[in-house]
Copies of this chain bind each other. A is one copy, B any other.
């Protein structure tokens, strides 16, 4: 796994706090063989880096890989997708007028069940990983299926493609079709252990891949299964991921299935699943006491705006959660969510927050800075990697993307041969820049009209894992 020493030179943008971006212009960031940032120098160009900083680090210039961003490009932290179902990837955009429970039976269980097939899983998972990397997702919390062999394949493929990932075999022993269900709680635990052991073999110190305990959601898990998963967490200290309070029909089902629990959150809590390492996806219809319990247990929330609007689950009150002190990140929730892109999730988080504002809570609106925070530092908090990823700081790892917004056009440029020449080799872009935009405007244009064409290169733990080739 150990790579080259690297230097990145140019402009860097990252989130300082929930509502502040920091712009580091003309800066150099030095990354060691393990992908760890060892120095950040302001006012440092290539010459200074080579003559002063590299020797000071005890490095040899010839051994260091240098990447200098062009004027107008900038480095940004990689995105964290805190909730994505890899086996549902072929279904992105396909949801009709369904809502959660009929969406599961119509589209989702048949697709997931078919991913028992290794060849099919290889094709789907490879596309999913490559596509999410191309959108700048450097870390993903994946749900796989109930199948051990293809869940292990997903781990292998994340490792091979260099994507940082949490990979969870989906536990599902109740209320599911007989062709897609865990045989018994005992079998579910045994199979889950098999995927944990597999990851221990391929990435023993979890440098990139970490197993994650994945009870699908309360209505799909028996009390016995949840209890055993709680015990497995105590034994292994592995993280959890599950769904919570996504859809009103689901809430009724939970009430019916767990009549002794005062609410959905307490179902998880009473089985030992509500921990500081638990990622709860959706969290739309929680009441105040549930949020208080989540805060008490230090569990985290994955906000999935594309999914919540597509399958009309509801609008997650992100401002309320943040103000109460819940850690929130973004999830694509492919394929309840129609897009594999966290940038799209950020955009929709902004728009969904405006729908809440239109219902009367004006302060619900999320700013550009805030949705980018959720996409990076927020997501890092949610997956428990806030010390390692999400920003540019010495001691953190280099999970980053190089963003280019395409050529600038000034009025006098159109048709000017010199300008045309200067633009050769500049990236294609869905964003039109006119040359007069300040940083704030450039970032806004990227967030609202940018896409994977603007993500020119992506690194995880120092390693180049995606690049657009001209």
Chain A contacts to B: CB under 8 angstroms: 89-90, 92-97, 117, 119-124, 126-127, 131, 309-310, 312-315, 338-340, 348, 351, 354-355, 357-359, 365, 367, 409-414, 430-432, 434, 436-437, 441, 444-449, 451-452
Contact = CB atoms under 8 A, between A and B. Distances in A.
Contact of A123 (B122, B313, B351, B410): B410
A48 B117 CA distance: 43
A309 B351 contact: yes
Contacts of A124: 411, 434
The 10 closest A-B pairs by CB, nearest first: A93-B448, A123-B411, A119-B411, A338-B448, A93-B445, A120-B411, A309-B351, A312-B354, A93-B444, A127-B432
B411 A430 contact: no
19 contacts: A92-B449, A93-B444, A93-B445, A94-B445, A95-B444, A96-B367, A97-B367, A120-B411, A122-B414, A123-B410, A126-B414, A127-B432, A127-B434, A131-B432, A310-B351, A313-B358, A338-B448, A351-B351, A359-B359
Nearest to A452: B430
Contacts of A367: 96-97
A274 to B, nearest CB: 27
Nearest to A339: B449
Task: Report how many copies the assembly holds.
Answer: 2
A90 B432 contact: yes
B411 A445 contact: no
Contacts of A354: 309-310, 312
B434 A315 contact: no
B449 A93 contact: yes
B123 A409 contact: yes
A432 B119 CA distance: 17
Nearest to A445: B93
A156 to B, nearest CB: 14
Nearest to A359: B359
A194 B82 CA distance: 57
Contact of A92 (B97, B340, B448): B448
Q: Which of A310, A355, A431, A452 has the most CB of B within 10 A?
A: A355
A366 to B, nearest CB: 9
Nearest to A90: B434
A460 to B, nearest CB: 21
Contacts of A446: 93
Contacts of A309: 351, 354-355
A122 B444 contact: no
Contacts of A120: 411
Nearest to A409: B123
Contacts of A436: 90
Contacts of A312: 354, 357-358, 365
A445 B357 contact: no
A362 to B, nearest CB: 8
Contacts of A412: 119, 123
Residue in A310, A351, A446 with the greatest tally of chain B CB atoms within 10 Å: A351
A445 B92 contact: yes
B310 A449 contact: no
A284 to B, nearest CB: 10
Nearest to A358: B312
A117 B411 contact: yes
B355 A315 contact: yes
A451 to B, nearest CB: 7
Given A89-B432, A434-B124, A358 B315 contact: yes
Interface centre among A117, A434, A446 (most CB of B within 10 A): A434
